[in-house]
Amino acid sequence: MEDNKTEQSQTPETPEIPEAPQAEVRPEPQARPERPRGGPRRGGRDQRERGPQEFEETVVKIYRCSKVLKGGRRFSFAALVVVGDKKGRVGLGYGKANEVPPSVEKGVSSAKKNIHTVQIVNGTLPHEVMGRFGAARVFMKPASAGTGIIAGASVKAVVEAAGVKNILTKSYGSTNPKNLVKAAFNGLLSLRTREEVAKLRGVTIE
């Protein structure tokens, strides 16, 4: 009996090790298709159909006016704009607003309502002309090919929008951009071709 007890004491019992729980294998999530970026915004300008512009716009002058009120100064702006298709059609507009972009838009819309046709022969004027408005006078003379537009900023905007490529000009009197632009318009609208003069006089050109 004693031998059996000693044998049992010499062989210790090995404790049972519990098995580790197996991790659940989950299926890999499917990658979502990438959405194209940079698409048109809702209500933005990208959704508008942009066709070719018929007239080119030129801002001649931006005027700023300040009015002093109780809370401070309040500014308003005015834009002098010239539009033209460079094919003999040109217009002048003037717009006012509390900010610059709306004033330019008003000036452009006003100019498109006052489109006039100018007589152009071979990229220049058919004859010399003197335009007048107020105290401003603008003398315009036809020039040969390659001369270019020799004019100040105000007159150049008008003749360039009309489609004149070669011209010589000289301004007298007032240097106000409004008067110079209107004087240039007065001169361009008084141009007549040989055919028109012959028709008015009842003469045939040989």
Q: Where do the domains of the chain lie? A: 56-117, 129-197
Residue 68: strand, helix, or coil: strand
Q: Determine how many CB atoms are found less than 10 A away from the CB of residue 52.
A: 4
pTM above 0.75, yes or no: no
pLDDT per 10-residue tile (average), the chain, 206 residues:
51 56 60 56 44 79 92 92 92 94 94 91 91 94 92 93 93 94 93 83 77
pLDDT at residue 130, as a whole number: 95
pLDDT at residue 51, as a whole number: 43
Cα(131)–Cα(133) distance, rounded to whole angstroms? 7
Residues in the chain: 206
CATH 3.40.640.10 fits 129-197, yes or no: no
CATH class as words, domain 56-117: alpha beta
